[in-house]
């Protein structure tokens, strides 16, 4: 059984910060690429950030410089540090895992809501 459990979402004011966590079980975490995606109302799900098994990161242009993705393989956890949050960041954020070699399908968490509003 593969489980990805997200936490850390909530309501924050513009300019504030949140840190999302995603803890995985049922996979060999160290050989999986991890990512964060989000889906805002009325929009398609979009990639926010990824981190490979080797620690290389990529970010969507809309969050680059504000968000940071990291992983702790000892805790089977990937994080998304979100700073300088904007109302446009409001979305449901999903954790994703994909094996480094592309074998097998993607796994997804249940999502955690992030609302940026004053």
pLDDT score of 102: 86
Give the number of other Cβ atoms within 10 Å of residue 84's Cβ.
13
Nearest to 53 by CA among 71, 69, 80: 71
pLDDT in tens, 53-66: 999 999 999 999 99
E strands of 28-106, at which residues? 32-39, 46-51, 57-59, 67-72, 77-82, 91-99
* Strand, coil or helix: 63: coil
Q: What is the pLDDT of residue 4?
A: 97
CA distance 84 to 89: 10
pLDDT in tens, 8-56: 999 999 999 999 999 999 989 999 999 999 999 999 999 999 999 999 9
Tell me the average pLDDT of the chain.
Answer: 96
The proportion of the chain whose per-residue pLDDT surpasses 70, expressed as a percent, equals 100
Q: Which residues contact 53 (CB under 8 A, 6 or more apart)?
A: 30, 31, 32, 33, 100
Q: Average the pLDDT over 100-108 and give the result.
A: 90
Decide: helix, strand or coil at residue 14: coil
Q: How confident is the model at residue 104 (pLDDT cuts 50, 70, 90)?
A: confident
């Amino acid at each position: 059984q593969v489980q990805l459990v997200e936490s850390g979402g909530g309501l924050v004011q513009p300019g504030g910060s949140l840190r999302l966590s995603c803890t995985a079980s049922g996979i060999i975490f160290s050989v999986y690429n991890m990512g964060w995606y989000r889906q805002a109302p009325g929009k398609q799900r979009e990639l926010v950030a990824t981190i490979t098994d080797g620690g290389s990161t990529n970010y969507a242009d809309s969050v680059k410089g504000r968000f940071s993705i990291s992983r702790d393989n000892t805790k089977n956890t990937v994080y998304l540090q979100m700073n300088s949050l904007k109302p446009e960041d409001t979305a449901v954020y999903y954790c994703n895992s994909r094996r480094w070699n592309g074998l097998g399908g993607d796994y997804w968490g249940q999502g955690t809501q992030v609302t940026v509003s004053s």
